[in-house]
Amino acid sequence: MLGVIVVFILSWLFLWFFSKEQVTALGIIPTGRRLKEFSIGLILMAILCTINLVGQSYFSGFTYVHNPDYGIWDGLNGAWWTFKAALFEELIFRGAILYILIKKIGVIRACIIGAIAFGIYHWFSYGMFGQGIIPMIYIFLLTGAGGWMFAYAFAKTKSLYAPLGLHFGWIVISIVFLSAGPLGDSLFVPDGEAVEMGGWAQLFFFLFQTVITPGIVTWYLVKRYSAA
């Protein structure tokens, strides 16, 4: 939580120094609309992440089974950890810097820069250096697509709530529910030995994460906030 507080204070200082605005310019004050945007983002991404991971398990030849050793406090701690992780990254990548970039160079270019930065950041957070160029490109495209979604959600809603909901919705399913993250075994764990997916299945799930999911979110934002 200390990291979130530090980034929040730095965001406040950055906004005041470069834009003479308060941190509330990031849309952090809760309102009914913003809480609804958070909820819609969370539910939508939870559904899409479930489709992605359960679909991959089907084509990889394994299923998910309930982990009896994972209790309610484990789940609450895991959810709190993922929420803090999502909030920390949102404050950095969809906070003061993106806000100022949007004002200076426009929504599209600012969101593209944000997506690129988010992709490069994950080379460091995932320890990708030395893993080869193909895995680095793969991670860059995967996380960069997420960076675009979250940045565009911030730009269209003028608030951190929508991107935070999208971000949290994806990682809480992958990490807390389906054991696909740094916290290890969670509520459901793989049962059976995974086999390599076929080429077409691999391509589909890659496109699902880099094109289909961002496309759905972008389409919704354009339709919902076309006058924004």
Following DSSP, what letter does each residue of 1-37 receive, concatenated? -HHHHHHHHHHHHHHHHHH---GGGG--S--HHHHHH
The model's pLDDT over 186-198, given as tens digits with 9 standing for 90+, comes to 999 998 787 888 7
Strand partners, 63: 191
- pLDDT, residue 193, reads 80
Dump pLDDT digits (tens) for 199-208. Answer: 899 999 999 9
**SS3 of the chain: helix, strand, coil, percent, to 5:** 75, 5, 20
Given a cut of 90, is residue 178 above it in pLDDT?
yes
Q: What percent of the chain has pLDDT over 70?
A: 99
Its pTM stands at 0.93
Q: How much is the pLDDT for 88?
A: 93
Q: Write out the E strands in 50-187.
A: 63-66
- Least reliable range by pLDDT among 4-8, 98-102, 109-113, 120-124: 4-8
Q: What is the pLDDT of residue 92?
A: 92
Ordered by start, the domain boundaries in the chain are 2-224
Bigger pLDDT: 2 vs 65: 65
